Amino acid sequence: MSKLHQFAVKPVLLVCFVCIAFMLTVSGSATCDAQELPNIVFVMADDLGWADVGFHGGNAPTPRLDQLANDSLELQQHYVAPVCSPTRTGLLTGRYWSRFGITTPTNSLALPMDTVTLPRALKTQGYETCLIGKWHLGSLPKWGPNHFGFDHAYGSLAGGVSPWNHRYKQGPFTFTWHRNKQLINEQGHVTDLLTDEAVNWIRSRGSSPFFLYLPYTAIHLPLKEPQHWLEQVPESITGEVARHYAASVMHLDHSVGRILDALDEKGIRDNTLFVFTSDNGGSTAENNDLKYPDDNCPNGHLTGNNTPLRGKKGDVYEGGTRVPTIISWPAHTDARKIETPVQIVDWVPTLCKLAGYESERDLNWDGVDLSGLLLSNATLPDRDIYIAGPGWRASSLRHGAHKLVTRREGDNLKTELFDIQTDQGEVHDISGTHPELVKELLGRLEQVAAADRDSVAQSRPPDDSLITAITKQTLWKNRDGKSRTWFHPRVCMMPGDEGQPVALMNLQEIGGSDYFGTVHWSMSNDLGRTWSDPSPIQALGRDPVAGRDDGLKAGVCDVTPQYHPQTGTVLALGHVVFYKGEYFARNEQLARYPVYVTRTKDGSWSERKILQWDDPRGAHIYSNNCGQRVVLPTGDIQMSFTFGPKAENRMVAGVRATFDGTELKVDQVGPAIHNPVGRGLLEPSVTKFGEEFWMSMRALDDQGYVSVCRDVFTL
């Protein structure tokens, strides 16, 4: 069997025949003029499990989907990503989500702005394009669907929303409901709003072919269904969340029926390629997720059902990545079940082929054209099916009948091998009896993962930072030939008077061991090639300590500047260090605390201020050291503290602070992380990659540590 293939689609010239059916072969697409191009409706449920639907034995009635499955093609092995944003990336690009570094849900910009997406390709063929539902590939209007090829867009820019207030998780992306490029407020249940919009859009179409992408938020948490749907749930289903879950599935089924009815009423059902699928397997997460604005949703775990498959949403096992999928094209497909393994990235090559799209350059699609398989049961070329799980911590590779699963557990890589043809529930790990096959598949997996790394480096979208490149060079040597030199250089970028990038550096005199002089600042207008002479920040020198008559002074060190775009100021945060005369007062250091100054738009520095923290745990020392911080879109700042009571081991915690350009105030502190060795955990830093916060820290056990989390309060 061959290794993973990438195919560029090269459709043949379309010719129209006034005759019977629309024929496809393995080597070429069917032929017809623009008026006969198929309409495309792609419906994606959210977190719908394999056995959540009636035609797979689900306990919630789904009559419309059951009938559709009975009358149509059903893909028995349709693979998607384990979570939502990655699946959506694969659907719209034809490439593995991991090629873009997208392996987890993301509110950041997921794709380069010039990506050739499916709607962009279809628009070149005369298609009208529309997205109604959940986008989740960039949760701000400037990153929304209208910027990636959709003529009309409506729904949630972010992920699943509360069903009645239509808000995403608490934070910078809470307000996410939109129509085109404008955030809006509306009344009604989210499933009904999306269906109403889709039906009205279909009814308003003219003669042009169209592509309607309808990613519902059902049955993603949090669930709270209308009473009339709860009343229709079978009595055999008990438990409040279970009944809301079943009602959500039934509500979704009814909504799919409304879309099909709208196509029938329009007289275009026969020439509409209709796809129904899910973005990943069913979930058993807590329904009343407190991160969502209160919608009074019931408490308890979701009842996602992936039987007989193993695993759930988030897993690379079959239950997380194999989803119910139906294809209906009444004039051109029959009713049958297809056992051939296919994947979400196949839809771009397939739909582009049917629309007659041919790219002028290789788009490096990972998917293949399924048109021959769907319409004439043609055989697909041999290939592997690769799935990268969240953070690449788990991956799988389907190779013929066999599937390799890898999971990282600490420093160890755990491998499992299954024969999916005879063991679709992945119960029997046969890796121990097939070591050579495991070795071969690990090699194949490493090869495709290496392609991920190469691709991410080339395709990650630029962020909003002003940093481009700084050439390494010597700026200053020992100051005036004395025993003091410069130490702790820290740089931030900020906009200049005319919008050009300006670099501002804090640096500090140092002499001998632990002798920190006054903090200075320097500026560069040419991306770090040349710098102004360092000038002292008077507030960051040494000040007498109030209430002490023994000459104790508080200097400042570990100062890190950061531009705060919401206020146009620079926040320089460090912590005090104590001296008696010229000497480091070692016994006094247990009372360190963070201090800061701000630099206003006119270039002046403020007086020194203390960042106060009334810690209920009795911290005697706390500081941000020289840690990185993250400015949130709200203007709040995510950072971290090292802290501890007196001489006890230091702990680390995530911190959120408010900042108005003048005052920095601690607003929230997360749980403590401990390490019993030496002085505990020290010098934490926080940064953000994709949708995850990464907090790094060092310890005295010869280890560095990192905590990866969705926010700095759930470490």
Closest CA to 635 of 572, 573, 568, 689: 568
Assign 40 a pLDDT band (cuts: 50, 70, 90).
very high
Cα separation, 297 vs 223, whole angstroms? 6
Residue scoring higher pLDDT (70 or 623): 70
In one letter, which amino acid is 693? Answer: F
Taking only the tens place, the pLDDT of each residue in 209-229 is 999 999 999 999 999 999 999
Assign 586 a pLDDT band (cuts: 50, 70, 90).
low
Assign 271 a pLDDT band (cuts: 50, 70, 90).
very high
DSSP secondary structure, 44-60, as one string = EESS--TTSSGGGT-SS
Cα separation, 211 vs 202, whole angstroms? 10
Q: Which range, 62-66, 450-454, 685-689, has the best average confidence (pLDDT)?
A: 62-66
CA triple 282-201-70, angle to 5 deg: 45
Domains along the chain with CATH numbers: 34-380 (3.40.720.10)
Cα separation, 519 vs 559, whole angstroms? 8
The answer, yes or no, to whether residue 372 has pLDDT greater than 90, is yes
The answer, yes or no, to whether residue 566 has pLDDT greater than 80, is yes
Q: What is the largest CA-CA distance in the chain?
A: 102
Cα separation, 706 vs 694, whole angstroms? 7
pLDDT of 81 reads 98
Which of 1-15, 280-294, 607-621 shows the lowest per-residue confidence on average (mean pLDDT)? Answer: 1-15
Mean pLDDT, residues 440-459: 85
Token pair 């050739």 is at which residue? 116
Assign 249 a pLDDT band (cuts: 50, 70, 90).
very high
Which of 7-16, 322-331, 458-467 shows the lowest per-residue confidence on average (mean pLDDT)? Answer: 7-16
DSSP state of 299: P
Kindly give, in sequence order, each residue whose CB lies less than 8 Å from that of residue 188, ignoring residues fewer than 6 positions away. Answer: 164, 196
The answer, yes or no, to whether residue 587 has pLDDT greater than 80, is no
The answer, yes or no, to whether residue 469 has pLDDT greater than 60, is no
pLDDT of 715 reads 63
Cα separation, 193 vs 214, whole angstroms? 12
Mean pLDDT, residues 509-514: 66
Residue scoring higher pLDDT (108 or 192): 192
pLDDT of 2 reads 30
Cα separation, 261 vs 257, whole angstroms? 6
- Is residue 281 within 8 A of residue 79, CB to CB? The reply is no
In one letter, which amino acid is 94? Answer: G
- Is residue 47 within 8 A of residue 68, CB to CB? The reply is no
Mean pLDDT, residues 246-275: 99
Cα separation, 18 vs 13, whole angstroms? 17
Closest CA to 621 of 602, 596, 654, 593: 593
- 407-438 burial by CB neighbour count: b if 16+ within 10 A, else e? beeeeeeeebbbebeebbbbeeeebeeeeeeb
Which of 25-34, 92-101, 193-202, 388-397 shows the lowest per-residue confidence on average (mean pLDDT)? Answer: 25-34
In one letter, which amino acid is 658? Answer: T
Q: Any alpha helices (H) in 164-239, and if so which ranges?
A: 190-203, 227-230
The answer, yes or no, to whether residue 13 has pLDDT greater than 60, is no
Which residues on adjacent β-strands are paired with residue 210? 128
Cα separation, 251 vs 399, whole angstroms? 37
In Å, what is the CA distance from 117 to each residue of 178, 343, 689? 21, 17, 23
In one letter, which amino acid is 4? Answer: L
Token pair 């593995």 is at which residue? 96
Cα separation, 407 vs 388, whole angstroms? 11
In Å, what is the CA distance from 567 to each residue of 521, 597, 658? 20, 14, 12
Number of helices (H), then strands (E), belonging to the chain: the values are: 10, 34
Cα separation, 280 vs 343, whole angstroms? 12
Which of 11-20, 90-99, 157-166, 690-699 shows the lowest per-residue confidence on average (mean pLDDT)? Answer: 11-20
Closest CA to 357 of 22, 113, 30, 123: 123
pLDDT of 483 reads 57
Q: What percent of the chain has pLDDT over 70?
A: 86
CA 55 to chain centre: 32
Tokens of 657: 């602070």
Taking only the tens place, the pLDDT of each residue in 600-657 is 988 899 999 988 877 666 556 677 767 889 999 899 999 888 887 766 778 888 888 9
Cα separation, 448 vs 655, whole angstroms? 38
Assign 3 a pLDDT band (cuts: 50, 70, 90).
very low
Mean pLDDT, residues 187-208: 98
Which of 78-82, 143-147, 297-301, 711-715 shows the lowest per-residue confidence on average (mean pLDDT)? Answer: 711-715
Token pair 């640096």 is at which residue? 507
Mean pLDDT, residues 175-181: 96
Assign 187 a pLDDT band (cuts: 50, 70, 90).
very high
pLDDT of 408 reads 87
Closest CA to 76 of 309, 381, 273: 309
DSSP state of 126: T
Kindly give, in sequence order, each residue whose CB lies less than 8 Å from that of residue 521, ignoring residues fewer than 6 positions away. Answer: 504, 505, 506, 507, 534, 535, 537, 561, 599, 605
- 690-705 burial by CB neighbour count: b if 16+ within 10 A, else e? bbbbbbbbbbeeeeee
Cα separation, 572 vs 447, whole angstroms? 45
Pairing mode of beta strands 516-524, 501-510: antiparallel
Burial class (CB in 10 A: 0-12, 13-18, 19+), 114: exposed
Residue scoring higher pLDDT (233 or 486): 233
The answer, yes or no, to whether residue 467 has pLDDT greater than 50, is no
Q: Any alpha helices (H) in 140-293, and if so which ranges?
A: 190-203, 227-230, 240-266
Long-range contacts from 147-151, C-beta under 8 angstroms, 24+ separation: 147/113, 148/92, 148/111, 148/113, 148/115, 148/117, 148/119, 148/120, 149/117, 149/118, 149/119, 149/120, 149/121, 149/122, 149/123, 150/119, 150/213, 151/123
Mean pLDDT, residues 44-52: 99
DSSP state of 513: S
Mean pLDDT, residues 295-313: 95
In Å, what is the CA distance from 407 to each residue of 83, 153, 161, 347, 452? 16, 38, 31, 28, 17
Mean pLDDT for the chain overall:
87
- What does the radius of gyration of the chain's CA atoms come to, in whole angstroms? 29
Residue scoring higher pLDDT (14 or 298): 298
Closest CA to 45 of 73, 78, 67: 78
DSSP state of 361: S
Taking only the tens place, the pLDDT of each residue in 340-370 is 999 999 999 999 999 999 998 999 999 999 9
Tell me how far apart the terminal alpha carbons of the chain are, to the nearest angstrom. 43
